[in-house]
Homo-oligomer: A and B are copies of this chain.
Amino acid sequence: MQAVKIGLIGLGTVGSGTLEILQRNSREIAGRAGREISVKRIAVKDISKPRSVDTTGIEISEDPMSVVDDPEIDIVVELIGGDGVARDVVLRAIENGKHVVTANKALIALHGNEIFQLAQTKGLMVAFEAAVAGGIPIIKALREGLSANRIEWLAGIINGTCNYILTRMEQDGLDFNEVLQDAQSLGYAEADPTFDIEGIDAAHKLTILASIAFGIPLQFNEVYIEGITGITIDDIRYARELGFRIKHLGIARRKDKGIELRVHPAMVPMDRLIANVNGVMNAALVQADAVGPTLYYGAGAGAEPTGSAVVADIIDVVRALTTDPDNHVPHLAFQPGALAQLPIIPMGDIETAYYLRMKVINRPGVLAAITRIFGDCGISIETILQKGHEAGNGEVSIIILTQQALESQVMGAIKSVEALDTVTSKITAIRLENLA
């Protein structure tokens, strides 16, 4: 069969990894795909920049549209990131009748509905395995491997920077800021780490995972987002003492009332497999009605892990080039007509247990006042620990584990407790997720 011609847009980390894999494993790839896959054109930002990958025989320009408009190119691979130029490039590629492979989570989370609709009318494929959890084939697992199931919930460690920081804080007893600086110098965190540590990147990915799990439209704006900047080394230690580990999770859960969509730090029982996913590694735990729990683990970022997913998508698209469009794997797992309009549950209506940490003045009656507030709000307390008495400054830390309670009630109780004269700090609240 004739070689399939690829146009690559972007030759940064992921672009270079993708090209490197296509070249190094060309024999294995052709042996699997049944034909050669050749890169015809590449668009880069700065053509004068020296490259670590071999681009001999490939036409390179600084104009992405020269790739998108080349009639010989079958598949456009978008690896520039962001939702500006990338959106224009992808929409024009589809207009031009080309299939698209992208690693761009922001683009899919924010503009996926529009992109998939256009691709649908044109009978084209847009593949985006690399947009979530790097090299882990989690999109394929959800969309195809578990296609017999009604998905009940999923929980993912889907941001490697957050997981690296929390792991190092626990293992080395370091403060958030110390580890962040280390992560930046090691290249595990960006110079501006906001997207990662504030949970926005994880929310992009959760948006995509939830869509394909439940067959709902992409709706990034409905995701509750909390990052890890409020987590202290004390929280990590107390969690450990109580048998938990703190992980930054993206959680999507189907309830009778609708879908929960939330990204936040969570305390997970230490003996859960996902609680033992450390460093920059990612994992997704999926609970489905027929298969039960399954877990997928691997590298969530990096040139070649992400390139691995991009190339797998290219091979998938190549295999489906002759398939009639009605039989393509639907972009969001369900046929467009079968998408559900389930409401996203407001955060106040979420029910979980909570870890709460606060500083109080160590004198009689303090605990009674606090516990009375919880009781009045209808919240049962599971455990109370008192810590830091040895500091001798008259202040102690109180740690409370609640039983399952409504988020709005817990937030109400927190407000009332924080208003007490004897409570001298803001309350740190971390949700407990049993994941069973």
Q: Which residues of A contact B (CB under 8 A)?
A: 1, 17, 21-22, 24-25, 28-34, 129, 134-137, 140-141, 143-150, 215, 271, 273, 276-277, 288-299, 304-305, 307-312, 315-316, 318-324, 326-330, 333-335, 338
Known contacts A21-B290, A292-B298, A294-B296; can you find 4 more A-B pairs with CB under 8 A?
A140-B141, A148-B310, A290-B307, A292-B305
**Residues in B whose Cβ lies below 8 Å from that of A322:** 323-324, 327
Q: Which residue of chain B has its CB nearest to the CB of A304?
A: B290
Asked if B299 and A298 make an inter-chain contact with CB atoms under 8 angstroms apart, the answer reads no
Check if A290 sits within 8 Å of B305, measured CB to CB: yes
Query: CA A279 – CA B161 in complex, angstroms?
Result: 32
- Are the C-beta atoms of B296 and A292 separated by less than 8 Å? no
Q: Report the Cα distance A290→B306, complex, angstroms.
A: 9
A144 to B77, CA, bound (A): 18
A25 adjacent to B330 (CB under 8 Å):
no
A286 to B147, CA, bound (A): 23
Distance of A32 Cα from B134 Cα, bound (Å): 24
Could you show 23 A-B contacts with beta carbons less than 8 Å apart?
A17-B290, A21-B148, A24-B289, A25-B289, A28-B334, A32-B215, A32-B330, A32-B335, A33-B147, A134-B291, A137-B145, A144-B312, A148-B315, A273-B277, A276-B276, A289-B304, A290-B305, A292-B305, A293-B297, A294-B297, A295-B295, A319-B329, A322-B323
Q: Which residues of B have CB within 8 Å of A334? A: 28, 31-32
Determine the chain B residues whose CB is within 8 A of the CB of A315 once the complex forms. Answer: 144, 147-148
B-chain residues with CB within 8 Å of residue A296 when the two chains form the complex: 294-297
Contacting residue for A148 out of B145, B308, B327, CB 8 A: B308
Name the B residues within 8 Å of A324 (CB-CB).
322
Q: Of B34, B129, B144, which is within 8 A of A140 by CB?
A: B144
Looking at the assembled complex, report how far the CB atom of A254 sits from the nearest CB atom of chain B, in whole angstroms. 11
Evaluate contact between B31 and A335: CB separation under 8 angstroms. yes
Establish whether residues B146 and A308, one from each chain, have CB atoms under 8 Å apart when the complex forms: yes
Task: Report how many copies the assembly holds.
Answer: 2
Beta-carbon contact of B147 and A311 below 8 Å: yes
Least Cβ–Cβ distance between A137 and chain B, in angstroms:
3
Contacting pair B308 A32 (CB below 8 A): no
Known A-B contacts A25-B149, A150-B25; the reply to A330 vs B291 at CB < 8 A is no
Cβ contact within 8 Å between A29 and B147: yes
Q: Is the CB of B298 within 8 A of A298?
A: no
Cα–Cα, bound, A139→B32 (Å): 14
* CA of A218 to CA of B273, assembled, Å: 32
Q: Which residue of the partner chain B has the closest CB to A294?
A: B298
- With both chains docked as a complex, state the minimum distance between the C-beta of A69 and any C-beta of chain B, in angstroms: 27
A150 CA to B144 CA, complexed, in Å: 23
Q: Give the docked Cα–Cα distance between A32 and B273 (Å).
A: 30
Contacts of A145 in B (CB 8 A): 129, 137, 140-141, 309, 312
Contact (Cβ within 8 A) A299 B292: yes
Closest to A25 in B: B150
A24: B residues at CB distance < 8 A? 289
Shortest CB-to-CB span from A33 to chain B, Å, is 7
Q: Which residue of B lies closest to A136 (CB)?
A: B294
Cα A290 to Cα B28 in complex, Å, equals: 12
Q: What's the least CB distance linking A143 to chain B, in Å?
A: 8
A88 to chain B, nearest CB (A): 27
CB distance from A355 to the nearest CB of B (A): 23
Given known pairs A322-B327, A327-B321, the reply for A149 and B34 (CB within 8 Å) is: no
A137 cross-chain contacts in B, Cβ below 8 A: 140-141, 144-146, 294
Q: Give the docked Cα–Cα distance between A320 and B326 (Å).
A: 11
- A294 to B137 Cα, complex, angstroms: 9
Q: Distance (Å) between the CB of A134 and the closest chain B CB?
A: 8
Q: Residue A25 contacts which of B30, B148, B307 (CB distance < 8 angstroms)?
A: B148
Min CB distance A249 to B, Å, is 17
Interface pairs A-B: 5 shortest CB-CB: A137-B145, A31-B338, A148-B311, A294-B298, A135-B291
A149 contacts B308, C-beta separation under 8 Å = yes
**Least CB separation from A135: chain B residue:** B291
A289 to B299, CA, bound (A): 12
